[in-house]
Structure 1
Amino acid sequence: MHDFPIHSLDSAPEASRGLLAEIETRWGFLPKLHAALAESPAALRAYEALFSLAEQTGFTPAERQVVFLTVSTFHGCGYCTAAHTFLARQAGLDEGELQALRSGRPLTGRRLESLRRFTLAVVRDRGDPGSQEVEAFLSAGFDEANVLDLLVIIAAKTISNYANHIVGTPMEEFMADPALAWSAA
């Protein structure tokens, strides 16, 4: 595997430094994913813009984490699954639902299960889930804006999942918690 740099504020390309500094201030540390993406200022800006826009969608914080975890486990991304397990707990996602998401099992709540199923259909079928899947999602209480909002979250997670695979992003210190560890079986 090629050895990609994991940048610091000092080693990052000049065009990435300002955004990296903002990210470090916001998170309280510089996530290694962002430090890796910094090699391409465009990739860093794209990911950060999409991740920020995900918070502006019509989904609750817990619903966003359902999407993030569904995409991350589908793509087999251990880094993102660990990170979003941590964030899902902060968002108040029920531990049973969280463990079901991490293992690819159905969720017990109708709305969240509909969201998980539709997300999985969109990702699995490369954006063409079929009209039955769309109608099932809408009948679970979601609307057309939610269908399109979902694409923002999927795009953000696809960038990070793929980058982590290609770069081999090292895990963060907080991810040493065995309760966060995850690998595709």
Structure 2
Amino acid sequence: MATVINAPTRDEVSENNKVIFDQLEKGLGFVPNLYASYAHNETALGDYLTLQNRRSTLKAKEREVINLAVSQVNECQYCLSAHTALGKMNGFTEDQILELRAGSASFDSKLNALALFVKDITINRGKPTPEALDNFFAAGYDKANLVDVLMVIGDKIISNFIHGVTNVPIDFPLAPELIEA
């Protein structure tokens, strides 16, 4: 059985993190366990939320493509569950979400290039194949988009690792298993 590092409660975090917990409670209705895990550190939760909420050239749907593909490669059930819910909120169907997790999007050629690129670069630890990068640019993405994609990949890897180490309980509806051919 994996070790669980419990997410701190509001009473167990710094005053600064209490303010953030209150904002999350007000905005989301609860403090997700994964976010709470960042609050073991005085500044990490605020730093992470700043990174996650930075201005981007990417649309919300594109960010969800990245979140789903990276989390699948890294086998993070927490992030897959959270981003399955967010993907649905952003207009993806259950079948589309499963396809995105597998690293493709037959329903949209531009998102397909993005999903393929993200899966490729995540599997290859930051060194995409020339074909994946060429297809990304051929789909209409530019260098500014590339930097934003890399920022979102980094953001998601941080969360995947936080959950991989803490194993905090998943407080979103559990994402279904992905059965790959």
Q: TM-score, normalised by structure 1?
A: 0.86
3-state SS, counterpart of residue 43 of structure 2: helix
In 1, Cα distance between equivalents of 2:178 and 2:163: 13
Give the whole-Å Cα distance in 1 for the aligned partners of 2:35 and 2:166. 11
**Structure 1 stretches of 4+ moved >4 Å:** none
Name the CA shift for 1:164/1:184 in 2 (closer, same or farther; >3 Å). farther
Contact 1:69 1:81 in 2 (8 A): yes
Go from structure 1 to structure 2 and tell me whether the alpha carbon gap of 1:38 and 1:123 turns closer, same or farther (over 3 Å shift). same
What is the TM-score of this pair, normalised by structure 2?
Answer: 0.88
Conservation of the 8 A alpha-carbon contact between 2:103 and 2:115: no
Does 1:165 pair with 2:164? yes
Residue of structure 2 in register with 1:151 after alignment: 150
| CA–CA distance in structure 1, aligned partners of residues 149 and 95 of structure 2 | 23
Alignment-derived partner of residue 37 in structure 1: 38
CA distance in 2, matches of 1:78, 1:68: 12
What are the equivalent positions in structure 2 for 1:6-155 lying under 5 Å apart? 6-53=7-54, 56-102=55-101, 104=102, 106-108=104-106, 109-155=108-154
Preserved contact between residue 5 and residue 39 of structure 1 (Cα < 8 Å): no
Q: Distance in 2 between matches of 1:101 and 1:116?
A: 6
Any conservation in 2 of the 1:76–1:184 contact (CA below 8 Å)?
no
Q: For the aligned residues, what is the CA RMSD? A: 2.0
Identity of aligned residues (%): 29
Q: What is the alpha-carbon distance in structure 2 between the residues aligned to residue 7 and residue 141 of structure 1?
A: 43
Q: 1:132 to 1:101 in 2, by over 3 A?
A: closer
Report the 3-state secondary structure (helix = DSSP H, G, I; strand = E; otherwise coil) of the residue aligned with 2:12. Answer: coil
Gaps of 5+ in 2: none
Matched residue type, 2:153: I
> Against the structure 1 CA distance between its residues 105 and 144, is the aligned structure 2 distance closer, same or farther, given a 3 Å change threshold?
closer
Aligned letter for 2:79? C
Relative distance call for 1:82 and 1:19 in structure 2 (3 A) is same
- In structure 1, list runs of 5 or more residues that go unmatched: none
Q: Which segment is superposed worse, 75-84 or 2-11?
A: 2-11
Distance 1:21 1:171 in 2: 20
Q: Deviations over 1:66-115 (max 9, x none)?
A: 1100000010000110110010011012433212123x153212111100
SS class of match (2:10): coil
Structure-1 separation of matches of 2:16 and 2:32: 18
C-alpha change, 1:89 and 1:31, in structure 2 (3 Å) is: same
